Structure 1
Amino acid sequence: MALKITVIGTGYLGATHAAAMAELGFEVLGLDVVPEKIEMLSAGKVPMYEPGLEELLAKHVAGIEGSSGRLRFTTSWEEVGEFGDVHFVCVNTPQKHGEYACDMSYVDAAFASLAPRLKRAALVVGKSTVPVGSAARLAKLLVEQAPEDVELAWNPEFLREGFAVQDTLRPDRIVAGVASERAEKLLREVYATPIAEGSPFVVTDFPTAELVKTSANSFLATKISFINAMAEVCEAADGDVVKLAEAIGHDERIGSKYLRAGIGFGGGCLPKDIRAFMARAGELGVDQALTFLREVDSINMRRRGHMVELAREAVGGGSFLGKRIAVLGATFKPDSDDVRDSPALNVAGQIHLQGGQVTVYDPKGMANAGRLFPTLGYADTALDAVRGADAVLHLTEWSEFRELDPAELGEVTTARIVLDGRNALDPVKWRKAGWVYRAMGRPTA
């Protein structure tokens, strides 16, 4: 008999996972405690922008004309407990307020609500990013509160915003932290299609599975901050960090991915995950092993301040008072509407607080940006954003911005000065149109 799957938590991770499981052929029931979210998903709509997700939902959500009907949503824990053979827990693990540590309250609440409502054999699968040691504690909770034949597995997610659908359907690896052959067999059954298509299936114990996600994010953050540290050196030594990155990227031990210097990383995962990792290392008595991550975090945050200083220099080196600054980009990365810990919005906010008149444009993140920074100005197009600007800051590398016509923009600005915070624009094209082009880590390029 085919497995029935539940997905607990229907945010970015959960909504994508639920739709992908339906696409793989399973009957799926998604649960959330927010009725408005369930209502929206049941209509085939998503509360965030993620390319391809809404189309995938419409293909499978029950009640939508032409759908497979394999995917439903509910607020009932009883229904979830009755329905599922495999329960994926996909709830949020934010940073604790005022601390580096991870807030486990949503995960703990999900397990506490689910365990007593399980009445038969089932596998509970954690996908949330949690501090190492959490799975062992939650497995014990299941033993105490759930039927005897309920067990735990840990299966971390590796989704990239903007590519979440393909990362779920065709993952570059599947990590299964299990304590029994039965749990491994069930997860192999769930992921049979991507495994058959070549996705590696890595079987580990609980702690290793938990560490894989935080280790991967820490390595990625380190690589980004490394090239940004080199950008700082290039600024001081009149070097060109783009050419430097190109040269070292040809070394196959290093590789060229994520070596684009700029204003650094943000989002809802990387910053909070490396901080939580440091906090957990301290609890385990191995904080010295991860002290380098403090500098990774510090380099990353410095980039934002450096862009503010470059903008100040660009408009005369004194005050931002009376100066109009256009900011292209609000989201932390392109192909997303996520503005959590966005470097672009942080820079815009700092300039605004220092007296500048800031106008922001982003292809998808305007509504979220407006809620987070209501005092900033917002424009409907890039052209409107730069109108009357004394300097233009390019801070999120949307393809739309690379395709802008600098000559057309130059007609409406007060000054043709562009600061490329992502090293993604074509300097030759902009300079030919009469712009002063300045990028981070390229003082003379």
Structure 2
Amino acid sequence: MTQRLTVIGTGYLGATHAACMADLGFEVLGLDADKDKIARLAAGDLPFYEPGLEPVLRRGLANGRLRFTTSYEEAAEFGDVHFLCVGTPQKPGEYAADLTYVDAAVGALAPLLHRPCLIVGKSTVPVGTAARLAETVARDAPVGGDAVLAWNPEFLREGFAVQDTLHPDRIVAGLPGEQGAAEHAEKVLREIYRTMIAAGTPFITADYPTAELVKVSANAFLATKISFINAMAEVCEAAHADVTKLSEALSHDDRIGGRFLGPGLGFGGGCLPKDIRAFMARAGELGADQALTFLREVDEINIRRRIRMVDLARQLLGGSFADRTVGVLGAAFKPDSDDVRDSPALDVAATIRAQGGRVTVYDPRAMENARRAQPSLDFASSALGAVRGAHVVLLLTEWREFRDMDPADLSATVAERNIVDGRNALDPERWRAAGWNYRALGRP
């Protein structure tokens, strides 16, 4: 019999997982406490932007395989497998992850489990969380040991979430220590992911703590690689070298590779920054804090790129933002997303505004979220509108629309032809040939 799935939490991860599982042929019920979000999803309206996801969502609704609810009772009765996809944000004023939503979800679901089921955690959590939640389920679920917990971390990239869900590069299953429970959980997960496994996706079984460490370890490595090349950008600026050429040369070494070796403004979003901080906090709790002290420097290098971006812009304006207009292209933390969480672009814009600059921002997708996050900034409905009358233009998110801009088009709109390329996305010679004073992070 085909398993019926629930997805608890319908944010970015949960909505994507629910829609894609329905597209694979499963009956899926999405659950969230946010009534407005559930109403939007049930109407086929995504609360966020993700390329290619809305048609998948609407297809599931149309064929009846996908529904949404706010009722834990309905979810407990419906589901054979319950996926936990709730958020684990950073605690205010701390590095540690806030597990309030994870604990609340398990606390609400477990007492309602009256028949055998599998609970599958997908949220990114500190190591040790799965074992603690398994104890909660064993204590509170009326069905007792027939409610089994597994941990199956997600590896979604914003902008590629549908592809990463339907065609993952690996599937990791963290299984309980009891042999019978572990065999059952593995069997169920292999059945759910059978199409991916048949296509050659590696299926890796592990214990709870190893599975929990996979996601944060991957994010820590990627953050380190990004900050490494940005540290080299600092050296390049001091030595009058070109970090883009340095990156290109390094990328041809198979041991290093070119992915995540793009120098620029650094990383942001809802995963890498908070995950490496939570990783450091948890390592400290475990007495292994010295193993991850390097991540503090990784984080600091990342923040320094934002400061350097502001400094470059100020230098081009003669040392002050007072009474000067700054056109900002980009608000999302990366292209093909409307996510402004810990966005370097929005952070730079807000910093310049706080230092007296008149700042106008445009982003193809993130305008609504950017307005909510930074209401003191001005916003335009187009790139040309954002740079109108600007004394300096900052490219802070490398949307294709910005990469393809004609410098001549902007020349007629700005007050002064100064541009700082925060993502090393533009051709310097093209812009200089058009009369622009071009600067970029890590380049002479």
* TM-score range for the pair, normalised by the shorter chain length: over 0.9
User: Which residue is equivalent to 1:400?
Assistant: 401
Q: TM-score, normalised by structure 2?
A: 0.98
User: Which residue is equivalent to 1:2?
Assistant: 2
Q: Displacement of 1:209 after TM fit? A: 0.3
Q: Displacement of 1:69 after TM fit? A: 0.9
2:146 is the counterpart of 1:149: yes
User: Which residue is equivalent to 1:374?
Assistant: 375
Supply the AA of the counterpart residue of 1:301. Answer: I
CA distance in 2, matches of 1:403, 1:159: 27
User: Which residue is equivalent to 1:129?
Assistant: 124
Name the SS for the 2:415 alignment partner: coil
Which structure 2 residue ranges, 5 or more long, are not aligned?
177-181
User: Which residue is equivalent to 1:262?
Assistant: 264
CA distance in 1, matches of 2:374, 2:140: 44
User: Which residue is equivalent to 2:237?
Assistant: 235
CA distance in 1, matches of 2:47, 2:388: 31
CA distance in 1, matches of 2:43, 2:380: 30
> Moved runs in structure 1, 4+ residues, more than 2 A?
none
User: Which residue is equivalent to 1:160?
Assistant: 157
**Which residue, out of 68, 71, 75, partners 2:70?**
75
Deviations 1:153-186 (A, max 9, x none): 0000000001111100100111100121110000
CA distance in 1, matches of 2:304, 2:189: 42
User: Which residue is equivalent to 1:119?
Assistant: 114
CA distance in 1, matches of 2:430, 2:25: 49
Supply the AA of the counterpart residue of 2:279. Answer: F
Q: Displacement of 1:336 after TM fit? A: 0.3
Kindly report which structure 2 residues correspond to 1:12-411, keeping only aligned pairs within 5 A, or say none.
12-61=12-61, 67-146=62-141, 147=143, 148-179=145-176, 180-316=182-318, 318-411=319-412
User: Which residue is equivalent to 1:440?
Assistant: 441
CA distance in 2, matches of 1:123, 1:225: 39
Which structure 1 residue ranges, 5 or more long, are not aligned?
62-66
Q: Report % sequence identity.
A: 69
Supply the AA of the counterpart residue of 2:147. Answer: V
The alignment covers a number of residue pairs equal to 437
Name the SS for the 1:91 alignment partner: coil
CA distance in 2, matches of 1:23, 1:292: 42
Q: Displacement of 1:12 after TM fit? A: 0.3
CA distance in 1, matches of 2:157, 2:307: 26
Q: Displacement of 1:427 after TM fit? A: 1.2
Supply the AA of the counterpart residue of 1:255. Answer: G
More displaced stretch, 393-402 vs 425-434: 425-434
CA distance in 1, matches of 2:431, 2:199: 44
CA distance in 2, matches of 1:433, 1:201: 53
Deviations 1:79-112 (A, max 9, x none): 1011111100000000011100000010000000
Q: Displacement of 1:426 after TM fit? A: 1.3
User: Which residue is equivalent to 1:64?
Assistant: none
Q: Displacement of 1:434 after TM fit? A: 1.2
CA distance in 2, matches of 1:312, 1:401: 22
Deviations 1:131-154 (A, max 9, x none): 000000111111111112110000
Name the SS for the 2:63 alignment partner: coil
Q: Displacement of 1:375 after TM fit? A: 0.9
CA distance in 2, matches of 1:20, 1:178: 23
CA distance in 1, matches of 2:430, 2:191: 52
CA distance in 2, matches of 1:209, 1:432: 52
CA distance in 2, matches of 1:99, 1:33: 26
Supply the AA of the counterpart residue of 1:120. Answer: R
User: Which residue is equivalent to 2:414?
Assistant: 413
Q: Root-mean-square deviation (CA), in Å?
A: 0.6
CA distance in 1, matches of 2:163, 2:355: 42
Name the SS for the 2:291 alignment partner: helix
Name the SS for the 1:291 alignment partner: helix
CA distance in 1, matches of 2:335, 2:320: 31
CA distance in 1, matches of 2:403, 2:304: 25
Supply the AA of the counterpart residue of 1:154. Answer: W
Q: TM-score, normalised by structure 1?
A: 0.98
CA distance in 2, matches of 1:343, 1:169: 30
CA distance in 2, matches of 1:53, 1:248: 35
Supply the AA of the counterpart residue of 2:90. Answer: Q
CA distance in 1, matches of 2:194, 2:218: 24
Q: Displacement of 1:228 after TM fit? A: 0.3
